[in-house]
Every structure is written in structure tokens, then in C-alpha cells.
Chain A
């Protein structure tokens, strides 16, 4: 039986169980590791057990049968013998007995026969040949006898190796032997003659026969079992081989596949699971093959690629190396340039820059010295040097530039070099340079705008300057040009900046000044500020501000700056009549600033007249007079002077001073105006107070007598003094109505006056529009009825409560309603009231004659009626509407009329529902 490969490197071998080599083989058989062993150990024991079971059962059965037969035979034989020996025993005839015995003794199994007589006497005996019988006693035991007597039939017992059958020999008693020999009498049923035991037969049968036979059977069975066992084993072997064979083959195949041999296929022999597995394995092998082929292909491709890549890389590397070298070279150059650039841009100070440039030039070009020169108007100017001695510089500066290399280079427009100055012929500066210890020279011009400039490199060693050095120097020259330009620009910018700063400072001062002007300072303080500011900006020692009197006849000193205490005192309150004011008068007259200084002294006619000229502060020879003009009028003069008359006051300063002057003028003018306003204000207040007082008085004075008149009349009319006759009543009533009219007029006039004086104050309170309408209507109803006019009211329901002066509003409505009734001859007068969006709108419409458009505006003015002739007819002062308008406007509302001639009129007013404060 082959086993699988035992190397544990491939996983498949592990399935084969433990151990390697032959030593494990037997163990394997006894374990359950292999398939075969498993089958074996499953099947064989069963088979064996079955066989054994069967065998045992069979043997037992046989044994039983044998024993049964044996026993039967034995018993039968014993019985027969007992029967046949009856006579012999009876007769005690040995020979008879022996002959009977002979028949029995022929049986192979019979070992011995013993026939006993009645008393147990051995009558005949045929001893067995068995060795086992040696020493045996043949006596019939008492028990045996007893039993036989009792049972009267054969019994058996074992005695060692034999089975004995004991049969009683019986006879029918009381017969003589002769009777017996003669024959038997037939016995009838029930007639049972008593039998008598006369002897015993002991028949010993040897079990050896049975045993032999059994032995034979056992051997047979054993043989069968063994044969079956072997057969089964072989069958199992072959069977399992049939199973494991293919499996092993498959396994081997799989292992081969695992190791890479994919070409062989497993023969698919059967259709069963093994076959399927084989098939599957084949498929797998195929797939793997394909896979591997693919992989190999890819590998080949990769290798190809790799090769190509390597080639490319090699190429590229070579390229790169080339490039890198080139770069290195450029880098050097660039670095050099960089140094130069940084030197050039490191500072805006030209000298620094040029020093740096010359230093860099020397270093980068490997020279020994460098000089940067400027040729201005035929002189050499050494701008910057590096490693050049002072003597050299001095010598160069003294030399004639036209002889220099630079001039030559500039002429030629390109760099010029002298590889060996010792050999140079017509070079004037040769010796100077040689003395310095320098033998080679390279000059590069960098002219810029008319000025010849250039850089010159020097070397101690003779020899030409290489291409690189020339290139370097040219670059340097260019860069320096730029640097110089920059430096120049920077300088310019800086000076501009200084100028700008000054300007801005001036502006600042002016600004501060104008803001200061707006502060509520006294005029003097304001002017003092102006002067202070001016002093800061203009750098003039002393200022003074003079104010021209309103009459224009004198100037008064108001404020000064820059004076000492003592000098100032001399000024306080000084008033100079213009006639004596000299230059100041002139400036005042012309409105043009005047300036005097050393070059333009004060002409005699413009000098200050004494005694003013003696004043210390006014004695200067160099001064400015600037008129301060506001609103086209010269309101004052600003004088500015230098104590010592040092320099002329520059024009710029004069201009600035004019600005300050105008500021001051504004301040003065403002102050004056302010005073005026204050005064007027006072006056107004006083006037207003008077007016109020007057109104109060008038009101009282006018009404008092009128009250009396009306009062008395009323009394009479009320019949206080008795019944009034009709004619008198009529007269009195007319009197009364006239009086009332007069009262109305007075009230109106007073109202208007109050309104004019701004004295009318609304007393605001809650009111109901409906109520107001109602009151107005009821007051005038009788009047309307008199004229047979219809009075209608259309008041919207649920009008909100209003806030306003109820009395005045009622007054307005009464006025409008009164007018409507007055001017309408026939028809109706309607009052409407509504509210919307927080406003009340009340209108009074009539069917009167209407009002022409031209008159519609007029009627709201005082004392105007559309037609003055109708005034007298209709009555009324013509004040009502204007008062009404004022009242409505005080409420923040509006009143207007809609009308056209012949169409009647509608007067409407609208006012806010709630007026919290009256509208001034």
C-alpha cells in the first residue's frame, strides 16, 4: 500500500497523518488516520462480530442438537437395553445380557454398559476402553436406585467425561419366568399390572463424540471466519484501493500541479464524486495553466519594459549631467550678477552703492582694484574706489580726463582695455597707474545724460581681461547706471517730501484754526488763536490785528502776538485815526496787502504819524499790512513784522497771511453780526412782552364796558325789571345783537393778535367730534331756521376720541357753519365728519353761490371776503377764516375749500386725531 509523499513542505502531505517512513506504517493501520484503515476498522469488526455471533449461535444450536440426540439416543438405548435385558436380568443370564449389550456396544459412543440386577449386583459389564474409566467404581448408588424406583424411567447424569443413562429394567411382577416366556396376556385398558424394577441399566456414552463433532464444527466455523475475514480484508483493500487509488492519483496530480507540472491531466474514470473531483482538478489545472501563461507573458513584457526604462534612464542621466554642468556655469554667472544687483540695490546712498559695486567688480572679476569716475566739465571726479590709494585718487583727479581710457571708451562706445600698460604708448595716465603697481586696465563707460561716467578695473598682473570680465563689467556698468538714477530720484523724492510735509503742516494749522473759529470763544480769544497759528506757520515775530471802527475813521488795536509785556501795554486801547495810520490806511483804502522790507522801504507818505511812530511795537522797518476782508468790506488789518528786519517776507508767506487775515475777518464779522442779532433779539423780546401786556390790557379794557352793555341789556330782556313792551324789546334785541357782534369782532381781533404774537396756546384735551358738531349745530340751528335752511349732519359712527383744543375746534366749526348759513339764501347746509388713517376730516357744505377760484386763496387771508361789498350786508369781520386756518394749522392740520360759482361750497379741514403738542 503506497502512502503519499511524506515531506511536510507541501500542505497536502499533512493530510496523510503523522510520522514519516515505514515505521509509521503499522501504526497507521491501527489508527484511524488513513482512509483505508478507517474503512477496514469500520467494516471488518462488524463482519467479524457478525460471523462470530452467527458462529456461536450455530454452534450452540448444533451442540444442543447433538446433545439432544445424544441424550435421546442414550436414553433410547438404555431403555431398549433395559427392555431387552429384562429377560436376561430376570433370568440373570449373562450371555443373554451380553448379547443384548452387544447391540448397544456397537455404537461408537457407547463407552460402557453395566447392567445391574435387583440388588445392584452387576450382572453384565462391558467396560469402556476409555482410560478415563480407570479406577471407576461401578456401583449403583443408593440415590440412583432410589430415583429410578421412584420415577421408573430412564434418567441421565453426567459423570465426568461421560453421560450415563440409567434405565430401570422393569418387569411385570408375579409372573413366573415361564409365563413370561410363553407370552403375554393381552391387557385390557385399565388393567395395569404393577411393574417391578428388577435391574438397572447404566449406559455410559462418551461425550467425546459430540466433542469431536463440536470440535469439528468449531474448526469449521473458525475456518469460515478466517476465510471471511481474509476475504473481507482483501475486499476492503481492493475496494478502498478503488477509492483511494484515484484519490491518491488526484492528490499526486494536485501536488504536481502545485509544484508546477500542469500539463498532465487526471484520467476521469468514473462518473461518481471522484470523477467529478478529477474533472474539477483538471479544470483547475487548465485554469492555472492559463493563469501562469498570462503571468509569464506579463513578466516577459515587464522585463522588456524594464530594459527600455533602463536604457532611457541612462540616456537621461547623461543628458542631466550635461545640463547640470551648464547650470553650474550659469549659476556662477548669475551669482555674480546677484551680488552686483544686491550691492546696487542695498542702499539708496549713491556713494555706498558705488563702493559696493566697485568692491564686487574687483572680487568677481579677479582683479586687484577698481575705480568709478565721473568726468564733469573736463575734470575727473573719483566717485568710488576699491583698493586704490589716496595718492592715486589725487593724481587722477588732477589729470586730464580727455587722456583717460574712459574717454576713449566713451568715444568708441565700448569697453577699452590695456593688457600691459608698460607697453602702452600714447596713454598719458599710464605712469600714474603704473606707480600704483597696476599693470592692466579695463575701462567700461556708463554714460547717462551728458555726464560721462565709467568703471575701470585694474590688475597687478599684465594680461588681457577675459570675455567674462568684460561682460561682467559691462553688466556692472549698466546696473550702476540704474542705481545712480535711482539714487538721484530718491534724493529728489526726498526733497519733495520735505516740501510736502511743510505744506501739510500749514494746512493742518489752517484747519485747526477754522475749527477753532467755530467754537464759541470771544472775539479776542479767537483772534489770538489766529495769530498764534499764523506765528507757528509763518515764522514771523510779531503780529497785530487792528479793527476798523464802524464809522471807518480809526483803527483800534485789538489783539497781538509776539510782543513782550511792555510792548503790549503800549498797544492796549490804542486807536489811530486813519488819517495818521500811514500804510495801514492805505491798505484799508485799497484792500490790497502791502509789504515793506530793506529792499522796499516804507515811503514817507505811508509812514505812521507821530506820536504813534514812537511806539516801540510800531517801529519796525520790515513789515506786512494785510487787510482783513469780509463780505467785500475791510473790517480790519493784520500787521506782521520782523523785529530785526532780517529778510524780506517771502511771497508765499504773504499769501498765507492773507488766508489768516480772511479767517480773522470772518471772525470779526461774525462777532459783529452776533452782537447785532443779540441786540435785535433783546429788542424783540421786549417788544413781544409789550405786545402781550397790551393784548391783556386791551382784552380787558375793551370787554369790560361791552360786558356791562350786554349785561344790562340781557337783564332787561329777561324781564328782571318788569315786562318789556314789544317795541322796546325789539329795539333792545337789536342793541344786544349789535353788542354781541361788537364782542365777536373784539374777540376775533384779540384772537388774531394772539396768534400773531404766537400767544395762542391750545389747551389740549380729549374731545368728541360728534359732540363738537352737535354743539355747533344746536348753537346755529335757530339761525338756520330763520333763513328756512335745512341743517343736516352726517357724522360717521364710532369716531375715535380726539385730542385737541375742543373750544378752538368748536370755534372753527362755528365759524364755518356760521359762514355757510350766512351766505346761503336757500337750500341746505350739511356737516360731515369722518375719520381715516389717524385723521379727522370735517366738512361744511352749502348750496350757496360758490366761490370763484381766484378768491379761494384770498378768503383765508385777514380781513378779506370774496366780495367786500357783501361784507357789510352779511356781517362778519372777515377774520374768522384766517383765525380758523391758524387754529387748524396749530393742530398740525389743513383747511381748504372746494367750490365753483353757482355750485355751492364745501369747506373742509383735516386734523390729526390726536394732537399731543401744538404745531409751531
Chain B
């Protein structure tokens, strides 16, 4: 059974790119457009990994990460934060929220896959 990755990203293009990339790497992709939707989907679908964007409408990526990580049932799911936020301290904030890895946009697809494979072989 192929591994499932939840992508929480509000930008259409970015979602598409991730979708294509992950599918080509034989992952199943679940998509959420907002932070809240992402948290719900995480609960319902129990993915194997979550790719979280920070800049999301409503609930932002940090908060969503925090919520997921504080959920005992979901805590084990690795969260890779993907963001184009350039301001320093973002990574610190991300890790403080509980993410497991942090990738800046633009990312090298190959690198992203490599990082994903670390958590979801």
C-alpha cells in the first residue's frame, strides 16, 4: 500500500507541482486548502506525512502544526513545513510549533523527495 501524504497549501500552482511530484514518486496525495481543512483531513485520513505551508488563510501553518502535534493520535505524523517566508526566526517558530523538518521555497524537488523519504521511506 502506498504511503499517503497530506498537502496543506493554499496556492493552486504549488499544490499542482507537489501533486505531480509526489505522484511520480508513488505517493498518494491528499490535499487541503486551509489550515482547518488540513487539521480535519489529518484526523480523518491519518496520512503518513504532512507537507505544511505556513502562509495559509485563517489558521496559519504554525497553529495547524501545533494543533496536529498536540493531538495524541496524530502526533506521530511527521510534518515538513514548506514556506517561502524569508524572515529569520521562521524556522525557529516552525520548530517551536512542533514540525519535524523545514523546507524553503523554492525547493529542489529532488531534495524535497529526499527529505520526505527520510520520514516515509
Chain A interfacial positions (CB closer than 8 Å to B): 692, 695-696, 699-700, 703-708, 710-712, 714-715, 718, 720-721, 743, 747, 750, 754, 759-763
Contact of A763 among B16, B17, B88 (CB under 8 A): B88
Expressed in whole angstroms, the Cα–Cα distance for A743 and B84 within the complex equals 11
Interface string of B45-87 (1 = CB under 8 A from A): 0000000000100000000000000000000000000001111
Q: Establish whether residues B14 and A704, one from each chain, have CB atoms under 8 Å apart when the complex forms.
A: yes
* Chain B residue with Cβ nearest A716: B20
| B85 in contact with A699 (CB, 8 Å) | yes
Q: Is the CB of A706 within 8 A of B106?
A: yes
Give the residues in chain A near B2, CB-CB below 8 Å.
Answer: none
Determine whether the beta carbon of B17 is less than 8 Å from that of A696.
Answer: no
- The answer for the CA separation of A763 and B85 in the assembled complex, in Å, is 15
> Residues of A contacting B91 with CB < 8 Å?
763
Query: Which of B11, B85, B89, B106 is packed against the most chain A CB atoms within 10 Å?
Result: B106
B91, closest chain A residue (CB) = A763
Q: Is the interface of A mostly helix, strand, loop or mixed?
A: helix
Cβ–Cβ contact A743 & B20, under 8 A: no
Q: Is B105 an interface residue (CB 8 A)?
A: yes
Which of chain A's residues have a CB closer than 8 A to the CB of B85? 696, 699-700
Closest to A720 in B: B24
Q: Is the CB of B14 within 8 A of A708?
A: yes
Q: Give the residues from 19 to 43 in chain B that come closer than 8 angstroms, CB to CB, to chain A.
A: 20-21, 24
Contact between B24 and A703 (Cβ–Cβ < 8 Å)? Answer: no
At the interface, yes or no: B92 with Cβ under 8 Å from chain A?
A: yes
Q: How far is the CB of A748 from chain B (nearest CB, A)?
A: 11
Which residues of chain A have C-beta atoms less than 8 A from B11's C-beta? Answer: 704, 708
- Selected from B14, B21, B84, B110, the residue in CB contact (under 8 A) with A699 is B84
Query: What is the size, in residues, of chain B's interface with A at 8 Å between Cβ atoms?
Result: 23
Known: A700-B85, A711-B109, A750-B86. A718 touches B24 (CB 8 A): yes
Residues of B participating in the A interface, judged by any CB pair closer than 8 Å: 11, 13-14, 16-17, 20-21, 24, 55, 84-89, 91-92, 105-110
Interchain CA distance A696-B87 in the complex, whole Å: 7
Structural contact, A703 and B106, CB atoms closer than 8 A:
yes
* A708 and B17 in contact, given A700-B55, A718-B24, A743-B106 (Cβ under 8 angstroms): yes
Bound state CA distance, A747 and B105, in angstroms?
Answer: 11
* CB pairs A–B below 8 angstroms (6 shown): A696-B85, A696-B86, A703-B84, A705-B13, A712-B16, A718-B109
Q: How far is the CB of B19 from chain A (nearest CB, A)?
A: 10
A718 to B91, CA, bound (A): 29
Q: Is the CB of B21 within 8 A of A715?
A: yes
- In the complex, A714→B89 CA distance in Å? 29
The smallest beta-carbon distance between B45 and chain A, in angstroms, is: 24
Alpha-carbon gap, A741 to B26, bound state (A): 31
Given contacts A700-B55, A704-B84, 6 further A-B contacts (CB under 8 A): A703-B86, A711-B21, A715-B17, A718-B21, A759-B88, A762-B88
Chain A residue with Cβ nearest B82: A707
Q: Give B2 Cβ to nearest chain A Cβ, in Å.
A: 16
Residue in B closest to A712 when the chains form the complex, CB atoms: B17
**Is the Cβ of B14 less than 8 Å from the Cβ of A711?**
yes
Bound complex: CA A760 to CA B89 (Å): 10
By the criterion CB–CB under 8 Å, are A761 and B89 in contact?
yes
Q: Which of A699, A715, A720 contacts B86 (CB 8 A)?
A: A699
Is A707 a contact partner of B55 (Cβ separation < 8 A)?
no
In the bound complex, CA of A314 to CA of B106 (Å): 131
**Interchain CB contact (< 8 A) of A695 among B14, B86, B89:** B86
**Quick check: A699 and B88 within 8 Å, CB to CB?**
no
Instruction: Select which of B55, B92, B109 is within 8 A of A714 by beta carbon.
Output: B109
Contact between chains at A707 and B88 (CB < 8 Å): no
**CA A659 – CA B43 in complex, angstroms?**
79
